Amino acid sequence: MADINSDATIGQILMNRYRLTELIGKGSMGRVYLAADTLLGGVPVAVKFLSQSLMNERMKVRFAQEARAGALLGQKTIHVVRVIDYGVNADEVPFYVMEYLKGENLSDMIMIEPLPIPRFIRLMRHICLGLQVAHEGVMLEGKNCPIIHRDIKPSNALVVPDASMGELAKVLDFGIAKFLSDNLGSSQTQSFMGTLAYCSPEQIEGRELDGRSDIYSLGITMYEMLTGRMPLQAESHSIGSWFKAHHFQQPIPLAIAAPDLVIPKELNELIMACMAKSREERPQRVAEMIAVLEFLEERYGFNRTSNPETLSVPAPLPTAPSMPQAALQSVEETAWQAQWPTDKPRAEIVFASTIHAQRESAATVWVMLPRNEIDRRMLNTRYNQFLFTMSPHPMMLWITALYDPEQGARWLPCYLDLKIPRNQEVALLLASNGYYPLLFFALEDPEHCTNVITLTIATFQRQLLRDWVQTSKSLSSAAPPSVSRNLLKTELEKCKPQILEKLQQTRRNVFG
């Protein structure tokens, strides 16, 4: 198996879309690369790979959960780094694609000097808002699943310039996030994962966690943000030493750690309460913390929308996102909010449609499958192709396939009568956009979209689509559309062995 750290990694193109350009970070769960989204003209994105030292089936499942958490949470709040896509690379190493944000790591910021209280309150409120959404949960397999981050610390918060708010804090790295509903085995509950200096007493014991564990970590993070120091000191960097510190050592009072700091009484009490040894003595929900922070903003005049110059933000405001990137994000967000049409049966069917987002319209494929198959197919190889017949009636076959050697292929064909204007619009949207979202709906919970993946279209096929629409407008029909549909069905069956051979050969050459 090739090493993803080798020079050969740089320049690789993932999913015919993301070209890796630079290694920009690494952690216990894997490495992060800067990449260019070639579909959107080189827009920068971040790609995170699962560490090869963690390459077992359980960790692959957990890594996929991380991707799903980032995707689902990113739809609900601007205070979580958004996941765009995910798949596997040439060595079958899972990866996911995130928005790339030019900002400053909170850990690096406070290494220079502690934060002034107004800026601290603003950024901590953002972090709490992101965690609140995670704790409230996301819909997975038809159930609401709260997510516990389990590794809250300054280095897992990113501060980015924002045109409307001056600056914005986002929570990142849900890499060891605990889904309260997960069933990966009892050993997962008993094992320790996290950062020793920030973990709660119950976390270092390996006990079952809830949101109050993150609140403890937030208390230590807040303390460090204001003082530049840690509230607890362990004798050594070992689990045993930190176990003693978190269980028996009392935090150094803020007045001693930072004697020149004038801190509101309510804020001091909040920070100390968050670091209580017993979770029953901490704030029980992040919403309680947000209420205190908002009270402080109002009472002490800490304006949420302060001008960035008054906050001493060194980085300039970013330029507006490019139209292609903003348009694609708008389309994907609209797709996530889609509901299964009332005029379609709740069955294993596939059909083409259009969605209209704020910035752009897009052609889409909608499919309903059993939930367990949707989950299994998320890391499949994706394939598309278009076929067209002019006679006896202008008809296009839009083929989407999901493939895995063990699962085989799932074929998702859509037949479009190109004499119908709305289908001509679909074909032209495919040609102009160069991509389309594939929307998944679960048979068990058909009301809401379960997942969205975006597929790209080859340049030569985009031109063919334009040509087919123009040709169809001038053609006369010599038979009912069903005749051409049946012809294309037969052609698809002929093509399947060739497509499968191509997919299998690709995996032997690329994934072998």
Q: Which residues are catalytic, by number?
A: 151
60 annotated as ligand-binding: no
- Do the beta carbons of residue 52 and residue 157 sit within 8 Å? no
Distance, CA of 368 to chain centre: 22
Question: What separation in angstroms does the CA of 430 have from each of 324, 350, 384, 473?
Answer: 14, 17, 12, 17
Distance of alpha carbon 251 from alpha carbon 248, whole angstroms: 10
- DSSP codes, 264-293: -HHHHHHHHHHT-SSGGGS-SSHHHHHHHH
What stretches of 145-198 show up as alpha helix (H) in DSSP? 186-190
Distance of alpha carbon 178 from alpha carbon 209, whole angstroms: 8
- Beta strands 104-105; 157-162: pairing state: antiparallel
Taking residue 70's Cβ as centre, other Cβ atoms within 10 Å add up to 27
Output b/e per residue, 264-301; b: 16+ Cβ within 10 A: beebeebbbbbbbbebeebbebbebbbebbeebbeeee
- 198: which 2 tokens? 């920030």
Distance of alpha carbon 367 from alpha carbon 350, whole angstroms: 4
What stretches of 346-458 show up as alpha helix (H) in DSSP? 371-377, 421-433
Distance of alpha carbon 381 from alpha carbon 120, whole angstroms: 45
- Do the beta carbons of residue 157 and residue 40 sit within 8 Å? no
Note the maximum CA span of the chain: 89
In the block, residue with structure tokens 């996030």: 177
In the block, residue with structure tokens 């045993």: 240
In the block, residue with structure tokens 């690379």: 89
- Which residue type sits at 396? M
In the block, residue with structure tokens 């996530």: 336
Distance of alpha carbon 500 from alpha carbon 403, whole angstroms: 8
- Do the beta carbons of residue 392 and residue 478 sit within 8 Å? yes
Distance of alpha carbon 195 from alpha carbon 221, whole angstroms: 12
Distance, CA of 71 to chain centre: 3
Residue numbering of the annotated binding site? 48
Binding site members for ATP: 48
